[in-house]
Amino acid sequence: MCKDVIIACDFSSKEELYAFLEKLGDQKPYLKVGMELYYKEGAPMVRELKAKGFKIFLDLKLHDIPNTVYKAMRNLGELGVDITNVHASGGIKMMAAALKGLREGAGDGAMPKLIAVTQLTSTDAETLKNELLIGETLENTVKHYALNAKAAGLDGVVCSPLEASIIKELGLMSVTPGIRLAGDSVDDQKRVTTPAKAREMGSTYIVVGRSITAAEDPREAYIKCTKEFKGE
């Protein structure tokens, strides 16, 4: 699987996003469009970005009853994005329904990769035990959710880079947020690492936000992240 850096575009509007993209010059990175931006700008912006040649990870983390997720994913499948996702905690039937809807929506177009969120990188062992009432370790929980995603026919999961080696052993792709350049603030993330370490741990894709978007020179930061992750 091709390794790549995905920039988390956590902006509040299309204008902010495009102002950021101008700073990248000739670079055409993989972009993560999440809830904040999608709920403001919607499908037209995603289609614009695809027309401009950007690859898109549409990060909406669908989680509902199977039929609702099926219908929603059928609509998202029409957008031509490259990756999209659901929450693994919705269960195998829900994930399988999402895959069915995505296939129908994509039609004769390219089929997006469908991945499942295992545990958020803001979740630690204490939260897992005391708030979510999950008695297993983070590693075991992530592995079990990943096995469910595999059983549903999905391509991979979202997980911390700390669990990427587990996912690689299962033959699945891993998209790992919680990436910071050395010395950067971890903000609200709890399970974080650097691009170089994520490569060593086996991440397929890394998602990098503020280390690039808040950098003094975003283009330079993006290139640095990419070289570190690809070992160039």
pLDDT band at residue 180 using 50, 70 and 90 as cut-offs = confident
Mean pLDDT of 101-107: 98
Q: Which pair of tokens denotes residue 150?
A: 């595999």
Q: Is the pLDDT of residue 202 over 80?
A: yes
Could you tell me which residues come within 8 angstroms of residue 166 by beta carbon, excluding any fewer than 6 positions away? 139, 142, 143, 146, 159
Round the average pLDDT of the chain to a whole number and report it. Answer: 93
DSSP category for residue 68: H
Q: What is the DSSP string of 25-39?
A: TT---EEEEEHHHHH
Q: What is the DSSP string of 184-222?
A: S--TT-SS-B-HHHHHHHT-SEEEE-HHHHTSSSHHHHH
Q: Kindly report the pTM of this predicted structure.
A: 0.93
Strand pairing category for 56-62 and 156-158: unpaired
Each residue's pLDDT tens digit, 165-174:
999 999 999 9
**Pairwise CA distance, residues 134 & 139, whole Å:** 12
Q: What is the DSSP string of 109-176?
A: SPPPEEEEE-S-TT--HHHHHHTS---S-HHHHHHHHHHHHHHTT--EEE--GGGHHHHHHTT-EEEE
Buried b (16+ CB within 10 A) or exposed e, 18-43: eebbebbeeeebbbbbbeebbeebee
Catalytic residue among 3, 40, 50, 61: 61
What's the Cα-to-Cα distance from 215 to each of 44, 122, 125, 180, 206, rounded to whole Å?
Answer: 28, 22, 31, 11, 17
CATH superfamily of 4-230: Aldolase class I (3.20.20.70)
pLDDT band at residue 123 using 50, 70 and 90 as cut-offs = confident
pLDDT band at residue 1 using 50, 70 and 90 as cut-offs = low
Q: What's the pLDDT at 98?
A: 98
Could you tell me which residue, 31 or 3, shows the higher pLDDT? 31
Identify the helix (H) or strand (E) that includes residue 61. Answer: strand 56-62
Give the domain ranges of the chain.
Answer: 4-230
Q: What's the pLDDT at 120?
A: 84
Each residue's pLDDT tens digit, 214-228:
999 999 999 999 999
pLDDT band at residue 54 using 50, 70 and 90 as cut-offs = very high
Amino acid letter, 200 = E
Q: What's the pLDDT at 190?
A: 52
Q: How far is CA 34 from the centre of its chain?
A: 9
Annotated catalytic residue 61: yes
